[in-house]
């Protein structure tokens, strides 16, 4: 099974349309440094979307994604859910049957309010932290995150025995979650800020995410949900920092595909 990063940026992406910092200038000059809003797709016998970025249509076209078998939503913030409207025509014209969607009760209430006209497009199954979904080639578990009420992270355990966790938007993890994720093969973790953390209760900085990955003794750590411009930093500078802390620490980038 593969995991493909569709987007690895935070709420405004990189470059931001209103910003001229050196991080945004780097992204304008080098397409590899550009970041759309965070979402990933799991590719195996079936294809599952984890979060629906507002950039979803562009991401799907860029990565040649033409089918989906399910949607998992970590939470309802716009940068993780704004692309849901892009799925309407896919479901009605191509799939022609409701798309399974796994959401917490808070996200379900939001979806039914914001996209009520698409209610027939989804077969919604509510879940909450601790709940598991058995999808044959993998078992998916919702894990508690510290962010907007109703936010969960996603733990993927494949039939081959690998464990991958996706938590793109969270503050310091609850102890119960840390126990669940200890020693996972791959941890994909939101790392919104460089140096100072503007929102320490609901987000992690790059340094905090690295510290957490090392504490949990994960096999590989991939940083996502990167802002880069709150305190401007280039990809080269972040990579130099990561290499100084460990060889299993990586920046995710748009289009990157990893085996899980």
Per-residue tokens: 189: 């973790």
Supply the pLDDT for residue 241: 98
Is residue 235 within 8 A of residue 26, CB to CB? The reply is yes
State how beta strands 99-103 and 70-72 pair.
parallel
Q: Where are the domains of the chain?
A: 2-259
pTM for the model: 0.97
Rounded to an integer, the average pLDDT of 108-131 is 97
Supply the pLDDT for residue 155: 98
In this prediction, residue 95 has a pLDDT band, given cuts at 50, 70 and 90, of: very high
Q: In what order do the strands lie in the sheet with 132-134?
A: 132-134, 138-144, 152-158, 163-167, 186-190, 220-224, 249-251
In this prediction, residue 28 has a pLDDT band, given cuts at 50, 70 and 90, of: very high
pLDDT for 124-138, tens place per residue? Answer: 999 999 999 999 899
In this prediction, residue 154 has a pLDDT band, given cuts at 50, 70 and 90, of: very high
In this prediction, residue 139 has a pLDDT band, given cuts at 50, 70 and 90, of: very high
**What's the CATH fold of domain 2-259?**
Metallo-beta-lactamase; Chain A (3.60.15)
Supply the pLDDT for residue 145: 98
């Amino acid at each position: 099974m593969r995991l493909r990063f569709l987007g690895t940026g935070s709420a405004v992406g990189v470059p931001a349309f209103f910003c001229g910092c050196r991080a945004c200038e780097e992204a304008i000059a080098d397409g590899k440094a550009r970041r759309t809003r965070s979402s990933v797709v799991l590719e195996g016998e079936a294809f599952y979307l984890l979060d629906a970025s507002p950039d979803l249509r562009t991401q799907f076209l860029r990565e040649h994604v033409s089918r989906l078998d399910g949607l998992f939503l970590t939470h309802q913030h716009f940068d993780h859910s704004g692309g849901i409207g892009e799925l309407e025509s896919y479901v009605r014209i191509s799939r022609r049957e409701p798309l399974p969607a796994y959401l917490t009760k808070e996200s379900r209430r939001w979806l039914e309010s914001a996209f009520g006209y698409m209610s027939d497009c989804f077969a919604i199954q509510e879940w909450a932290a601790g709940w598991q979904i058995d999808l044959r080639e993998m078992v998916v578990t919702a894990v508690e995150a510290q962010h907007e009420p109703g936010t969960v992270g996603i733990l993927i355990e494949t039939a081959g025995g690998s464990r991958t966790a996706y938590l793109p938007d969270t503050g310091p993890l609850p102890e119960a979650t840390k126990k669940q994720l200890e020693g996972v093969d791959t941890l994909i973790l939101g790392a919104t800020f460089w140096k100072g953390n503007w929102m320490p209760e609901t987000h992690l900085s790059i340094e905090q995410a690295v510290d957490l990955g090392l504490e949990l003794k994960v096999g590989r750590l991939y940083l996502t949900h990167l802002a880069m411009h709150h305190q401007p930093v280039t990809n080269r500078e972040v990579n130099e920092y990561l290499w100084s802390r460990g060889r299993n620490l990586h920046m995710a980038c748009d289009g990157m595909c990893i085996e899980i």
